[in-house]
Chain A
Amino acid sequence: MAALDDTKVKEGVDQETVDAVREMAGTYKHGWETDIEMDYAPKGLTEDIVRLISEKNEEPEWMTEWRLQAYARWLQKEEPDWAMLDYPEVDFQNQYYYARPKSMATKPKSLDEVDPKLLETYAKLGIPLKEQMILAGVEGAEAAPAEGRKVAVDAVFDSVSVGTTFQKELKEAGVIFCSISEAIQNHPELVRKYLGSVVPVSDNFYATLNSAVFSDGSFVYVPPGVRCPMELSTYFRINAENTGQFERTLIIADKGSYVSYLEGCTAPQRDESQLHAAVVEIIVEEDAEVKYSTVQNWYPGNEEGKGGIYNFVTKRADCRGDRAKVMWTQVETGSAVTWKYPSCILRGDDSQGEFYSIAITNNWQQADTGTKMIHLGKNTRSRIVSKGISAGQAQNTYRGLVSMHPKAKNSRNYTQCDSLLIGGKCGAHTVPYIEVKNNSSRVEHEATTSKVDDDQLFYCRQRGMDEEEAVALVVNGFCKDVLQALPMEFAMEAQQLVAISLEGSVG
Chain B
Amino acid sequence: MLEIKNLHVDLEDEEKTILKGVDLSVEAGKVHAIMGPNGSGKSTLSYVLAGRDGYEVTEGSATLDGVDILDMEPEERAAAGLFLAFQYPVEIPGVGNMTFMRTAVNAQRKAKGLDEMSATDFLKMVREKAATLKMDNEMLKRPVNVGFSGGEKKRNEILQMAVLEPKMCILDETDSGLDVDAMKLVAEGVNALRNEGRGFLVITHYQRLLDHIKPDVVHIMSEGRIVKTGGPELALQVEREGYEDIKAEVA
Chain A residues with a Cβ under 8 A of chain B: 454-456, 458-467, 469, 473-474, 476-481
A480 touches B94 (CB 8 A): yes
Please tell me if B52 contacts chain A, counting CB pairs below 8 Å: yes
B111 touches A464 (CB 8 A): yes
B92 touches A477 (CB 8 A): yes
B90 touches A455 (CB 8 A): yes
B164 touches A474 (CB 8 A): no
Q: Which 7 pairs across A and B sit closest by C-beta, in order of nearness?
A: A477-B94, A477-B95, A463-B104, A480-B94, A464-B108, A461-B74, A459-B90
By a CB distance below 8 angstroms, the chain B residues around A459 are 86, 89-90, 92
Measured between C-beta atoms, what is the minimum distance from B64 to chain A in Å? 14
Q: How far is the CA of A357 from the CA of B24 in the complex (A)?
A: 52
Extra inter-chain contacts (7) besides given A461-B78, A464-B105, CB under 8 Å: A456-B90, A459-B92, A460-B103, A462-B78, A473-B92, A473-B99, A477-B143
Which single member of A456, A460, A464, A476 contacts B164 (CB below 8 Å)? A464
Known: A458-B74, A476-B94, A479-B94. A466 touches B107 (CB 8 A): yes
By a CB distance below 8 angstroms, the chain B residues around A455 are 90
Chain B residues with a Cβ under 8 A of chain A: 50-53, 73-75, 77-79, 83-84, 86, 89-95, 99-101, 103-105, 107-108, 111, 143, 160, 164
Measured between C-beta atoms, what is the minimum distance from B122 to chain A in Å? 14
Q: How far is the CA of A307 from the CA of B111 in the complex (A)?
A: 37
Q: How far is the CA of A460 from the CA of B108 in the complex (A)?
A: 12
By a CB distance below 8 angstroms, the chain B residues around A463 are 78, 100-101, 104, 107-108, 160, 164
Q: Please list 29 pairs of residues, one from A and one from B, whose beta carbons are closer than 8 Å in the complex, sorted by A's number.
A: A456-B92, A458-B50, A458-B90, A459-B89, A460-B100, A460-B104, A461-B51, A461-B75, A462-B51, A462-B74, A462-B75, A462-B77, A462-B84, A463-B78, A463-B101, A464-B75, A464-B78, A464-B104, A464-B105, A464-B108, A464-B111, A464-B164, A465-B75, A465-B103, A466-B75, A474-B95, A477-B95, A480-B95, A481-B94
- Nearest chain A residue, comparing its CB with the CB of B110: A464
Q: How far is the CA of A477 from the CA of B94 in the complex (A)?
A: 4
A466 touches B89 (CB 8 A): no
Q: How far is the CA of A222 from the CA of B103 in the complex (A)?
A: 42
Q: How far is the CA of A459 from the CA of B89 in the complex (A)?
A: 8
By a CB distance below 8 angstroms, the chain A residues around B79 are 464
Which single member of A456, A469, A480, A481 contacts B103 (CB below 8 Å)? A469
Q: How far is the CA of A476 from the CA of B95 in the complex (A)?
A: 8
Q: How far is the CA of A473 from the CA of B51 in the complex (A)?
A: 20
Q: How far is the CA of A472 from the CA of B203 in the complex (A)?
A: 32
By a CB distance below 8 angstroms, the chain B residues around A480 are 94-95
Known: A454-B53, A458-B52. A464 touches B107 (CB 8 A): yes
By a CB distance below 8 angstroms, the chain B residues around A473 are 92, 95, 99-100, 103
A478 touches B93 (CB 8 A): yes
Q: How far is the CA of A479 from the CA of B100 in the complex (A)?
A: 15
Known: A458-B74, A462-B50, A464-B75. A469 touches B95 (CB 8 A): no
By a CB distance below 8 angstroms, the chain B residues around A454 are 53
Q: Which of B73, B78, B101 has the most CB of A within 10 A?
A: B78
By a CB distance below 8 angstroms, the chain A residues around B90 are 455-456, 458-459
Measured between C-beta atoms, what is the minimum distance from B47 to chain A in Å? 9
By a CB distance below 8 angstroms, the chain A residues around B108 are 463-464
- Nearest chain B residue, comparing its CB with the CB of A479: B94
Q: How far is the CA of A464 from the CA of B164 in the complex (A)?
A: 9
Q: How far is the CA of A252 from the CA of B79 in the complex (A)?
A: 55
Which single member of B52, B84, B86, B104 contacts A465 (CB below 8 Å)? B104
A466 touches B73 (CB 8 A): yes
Q: How far is the CA of A481 from the CA of B108 in the complex (A)?
A: 28
Measured between C-beta atoms, what is the minimum distance from B222 to chain A in Å? 27
Q: How far is the CA of A466 from the CA of B103 in the complex (A)?
A: 11
